[in-house]
Amino acid sequence: MRADNRRKAGHYEVLGETYAKFEFFETGWNPYSRFLDVDRVDLILRRSDSGRAVYREVQVKYGKLFECTLKWEHNLFDFSTFRFFDEDDFARDVDRKNFFIAYVVTPEVGASGQIHYEGDVFIFPVRAFVESIRCAPSTRRGGRRVLISRLRNDPSRWFLRRTNKQFDAVTEKTCIEVSQYRRNFGALAHEAGPGLV
């Protein structure tokens, strides 16, 4: 499908949910779509564990990965994705122990018009996601700009940026590592517990 037709086809969140369904199925969960997203739940996951049904609720977010082109940024990171959130998004949900946020990211559509999903799905317990939002820089409108970038010299490492300003090194002051949440399907085996590590 051509890129211009894909843009007309519908909301990109549907694409993210489709990728997430395949990923959850591949890791032993049976995903069901919600008809109405009234409780911020896009998917309900079910599997049998020692003869009893185990359920997890998931909100799926989708983001595009953009190549880092600014010189200072290019020295540290190769790809980034960002979304805007209100600081209190999901704050009322932190005590929901079976609730997770799946953040699916894919590269921006290239000249070929093809999307090449590379398994970049982040699975956050809701409490960790809320804490991540609160660590992200504020916007003029009072929200937060959640910017996650992949380290150029080690593509297995991903960082949430704490600042919108230019910096020369990845430190605790400039970034929080979120690599542990990439393909974090093991977290689904337990009820959501601690926040950021």
Tokens describing residue 66: 């953009």
Could you read off the pLDDT of 33-75 as tens digits, one per residue? 876 767 789 999 999 988 899 999 999 999 999 999 999 999 9
CA nearest to 55, candidates 30, 20, 35, 19: 30
Residue 13 has a pLDDT of 74
Residue 93 has a pLDDT of 94
| 138 found inside a domain | yes
- The answer to whether residues 122 and 182 touch, using CB atoms and an 8 Å cutoff, is yes
Residue 71 has a pLDDT of 92
CA distances from 21 to 28, 44, 45, 76, 147 (A): 11, 10, 9, 32, 24
- The answer to whether residues 114 and 38 touch, using CB atoms and an 8 Å cutoff, is no
Q: How many domains does the chain have?
A: 1
| 63 found inside a domain | yes
| 197 found inside a domain | no
Could you read off the pLDDT of 21-30 as tens digits, one per residue? 999 999 999 9
Residue 92 backbone dihedrals phi, psi, to 5 degrees: -75, -10
| 196 found inside a domain | no
| 195 found inside a domain | no
Give the side-chain half-sphere CA count within 13 A for 105.
23
Q: 126: domain range?
A: 3-189
| 86 found inside a domain | yes
| 23 found inside a domain | yes
- What are the residue ranges in the chain where pLDDT is below 50? 1, 9, 193-194, 196-197
| 104 found inside a domain | yes
Residue 196 has a pLDDT of 47
Residue 107 has a pLDDT of 86
